[in-house]
């Protein structure tokens, strides 16, 4: 993929998946605005991209407020003349079960993930529409937002909202030739290392430099940061011009398309449904095959 001449902003790109996205875009020829709340992480990321022959500039600021979004877009335009790609990756975790989650836990996560995606996408869309030649909004979601996850009320809700915004903005920005997609990544990061079924295999791969085992890469769709970055580069490119409004999963050896929520089954009754009639019909009607919920528990080959 050749992204020469394109300019990208990647939020939360001082480390982890975001850094991988920024490096991949720069390696493909894009000029990149690196963002993180940590100035040292920003500086290190920019140095690394430049040392590899890429072009980057950094902005240390917390995502969520409109001022940060406008600063990121303004930096791209002032330093590189335009904006073509936005990757909204910035995020934090404040995991707690519902009855222990505080207002601050909820608000902090929603502010960074959901509001941060909104403010940055809005600022980018304004600039891209002014330029008049299209653009790419790549919103980072999560399996938790697709299925829910224990202890992640705030995170799952924000990520579900991000997928919904991708579908909405794909409609609103279609005439401006701006595509909008949600990426659902699964990769070996500091967060996935905390999952007991994954931790030993990830630690062994890091210790020896060997690839992750096939059961992780294929069955669980979990691989390295680099395994995810290819999808980001594709969605930033001209090759993805017809891809919009989609939730696309990637990790390890797996590339997947998530379904949009839709009615699975519907029963009809003349005059509508009373509570008693629903109770009588539920088990053999629409409730005969209830949907699952939650991210399926990973299983190693030994079933541990």
Give the pLDDT means over successive 10-residue stretches in the chain (304 positions).
Answer: 97 96 98 98 98 98 98 98 98 95 98 98 98 98 92 96 98 98 87 68 82 85 90 98 97 94 93 96 96 81 55
pLDDT at residue number 188: 76
Give the count of alpha carbons within 13 A of 36, CB side only. Answer: 20
Residue 293 lies in a domain: no
Question: Which entry of 13, 142, 224, 237 is annotated as an active-site residue?
Answer: 142
DSSP symbol at 70: H
Residue 217 lies in a domain: no
pLDDT at residue number 34: 98
pLDDT at residue number 191: 64
pLDDT at residue number 70: 98
pTM: 0.93
Question: Which entry of 13, 155, 224, 237 is annotated as an active-site residue?
Answer: 155
Residue 127 lies in a domain: yes
pLDDT at residue number 81: 98
pLDDT at residue number 302: 58
155 tagged catalytic: yes
Residue 203 lies in a domain: no
21 tagged catalytic: no
Residue 298 lies in a domain: no
Question: Which entry of 31, 159, 237, 240 is annotated as an active-site residue?
Answer: 159
Please give the residue range of the domain that contains residue 63: 7-187+224-257
Domain CATH code at residue 179: 3.40.50.720
Residue 128 lies in a domain: yes
pLDDT at residue number 170: 98
240 tagged catalytic: no
Task: Give dist(CA 45, CA 103) in Å, integer.
Answer: 33
Residue 25 lies in a domain: yes
Interhelix angle for 66-80 vs 116-131, to 10°? 40
Residue 246 lies in a domain: yes
pLDDT at residue number 28: 98
Task: Give dist(CA 219, CA 231) in Å, integer.
Answer: 19
Alpha helices (H) in the chain, listed in sequence order: 16-27, 39-51, 66-80, 103-110, 116-131, 143-147, 153-172, 199-208, 214, 225-236, 275-282
Number of domains in the chain: 1
Integer CA distances (angstroms), 53 to 6, 33, 46, 58, 301, in order:
16, 15, 11, 16, 42
User: Which residues lie across from 187 on neighbouring strands?
Assistant: 223
């Amino acid at each position: 993929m050749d992204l020469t001449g394109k300019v990208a902003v990647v939020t939360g790109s001082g480390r982890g998946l975001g850094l991988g996205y920024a490096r991949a875009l720069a390696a493909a020829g894009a000029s990149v605005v690196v963002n993180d709340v940590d100035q040292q992480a920003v500086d290190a990321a920019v140095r690394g991209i430049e040392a590899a022959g890429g072009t980057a500039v950094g902005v240390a600021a917390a995502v969520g407020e409109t001022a940060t979004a406008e600063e990121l877009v303004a930096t791209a335009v002032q330093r590189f003349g335009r904006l073509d790609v936005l990757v909204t990756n910035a995020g934090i975790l404040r995991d707690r079960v519902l009855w222990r989650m505080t207002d601050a836990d909820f608000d902090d996560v929603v502010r960074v993930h959901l509001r941060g995606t909104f403010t940055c996408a809005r600022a980018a869309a304004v600039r891209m529409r002014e330029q008049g030649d299209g653009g790419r909004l790549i919103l980072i979601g999560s399996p938790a937002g697709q299925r829910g996850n224990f202890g992640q009320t705030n995170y799952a809700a924000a990520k579900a909202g991000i997928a919904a915004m991708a579908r909405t903005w794909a409609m609103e920005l279609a005439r401006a030739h701006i595509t909008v997609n949600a990426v659902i990544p699964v990769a070996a990061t500091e967060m996935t290392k905390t999952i007991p079924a994954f931790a030993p295999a990830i630690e062994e791969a890091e210790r020896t430099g060997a690839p992750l085992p096939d059961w992780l890469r294929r069955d669980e769709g979990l691989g390295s940061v680099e395994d995810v970055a290819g999808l980001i580069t594709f969605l930033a490119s001209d090759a993805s011009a017809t891809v919009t409004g989609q939730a696309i999963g990637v990790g390890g050896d797996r590339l997947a398309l998530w379904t949009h929520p839709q009615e699975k089954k519907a029963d009809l009754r003349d005059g509508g449904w009373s509570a008693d009639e629903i109770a009588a019909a539920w088990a053999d009607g629409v409730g005969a095959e209830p949907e699952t919920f939650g991210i399926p528990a990973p299983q190693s080959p030994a079933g541990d």
